[in-house]
Amino acid sequence: MTALPERSRLVQQHLSEAGVAAEIVVLPDSARTAAEAAAAIGCSVAAIANSLVLLADGEPVLAMTSGGHRVDLATLARSIGAVDVVMAPAAVVREATGQAIGGVAPVGHPARLRTYIDEALGAHDELWAAAGHPHTVMALTFEDLQTLTGGEVVAVA
């Protein structure tokens, strides 16, 4: 087994503490996009749970979205009761999560982020999410994702 990167070890610790038995897989190549991840894993793009750090009325939040569609920021704003939702700059993503864009996991952050989960992810028996590094992923159920993040299920598209 390939040793896990430091950020992925933190994610593994969060999984263990939450009682979620998910194995972190190290991929040979980067999986920074949903399409790259799906190709590497052999699943549908829609089963990829993208981790997007956004600014909702200036506050960093995490949106776990299906790789099967693009997030409509206006729809998401209405769903979460925000006036303005925009993509967070890379520096904010790194500060809020401790992880780089392309590898942001649903957990393992310095502090818990308010999290929203795309309702479309509920259609899949197995989801794949980044695990703290662009080369690491993990399989989760929709219920696991909710348990880990305490996320609210909303419409994003």
Q: What is the 3-state secondary structure (H, E, C) of the chain?
A: CCCCCHHHHHHHHHHHHHCCCCCEEECCCCCCCHHHHHHHHCCCHHHEEEEEEEEECCEEEEEEEECCCCCCHHHHHHHHCCCCEEECCHHHHHHHHCCCCCCCCCCCCCCCCCEEEEHHHHHCCCEEEECCCCCEEEEECHHHHHHHHCCEEECCC
Asked if residue 17 is part of any domain, the answer here is yes
Return the pLDDT at 2: 63
Per residue in 92-136, pLDDT (tens digit) is 999 999 999 989 999 999 999 999 999 999 999 999 999 999 999
**What's the distance, CA 5 to chain centroid?**
17
Asked if residue 22 is part of any domain, the answer here is yes
**CATH number, position 70:** 3.90.960.10
Asked if residue 66 is part of any domain, the answer here is yes
Asked if residue 1 is part of any domain, the answer here is no
Asked if residue 130 is part of any domain, the answer here is yes
Number of domains in the chain: 1
Average pLDDT, the chain: 95
Q: Are 67 and 120 in contact (CB under 8 A)?
A: no
Q: Are 82 and 71 in contact (CB under 8 A)?
A: no
Question: Per the structure block, which two tokens stand in for 103?
Answer: 């590898």
Return the pLDDT at 80: 97
Question: Per the structure block, which two tokens stand in for 50?
Answer: 């993208």
Asked if residue 28 is part of any domain, the answer here is yes
Single pTM value for the model: 0.94
The C-alpha atoms of residue 119 and residue 116 are separated, in whole angstroms, by: 9
pLDDT surpasses 70 at 86: yes
Residue 77 belongs to domain spanning: 6-154
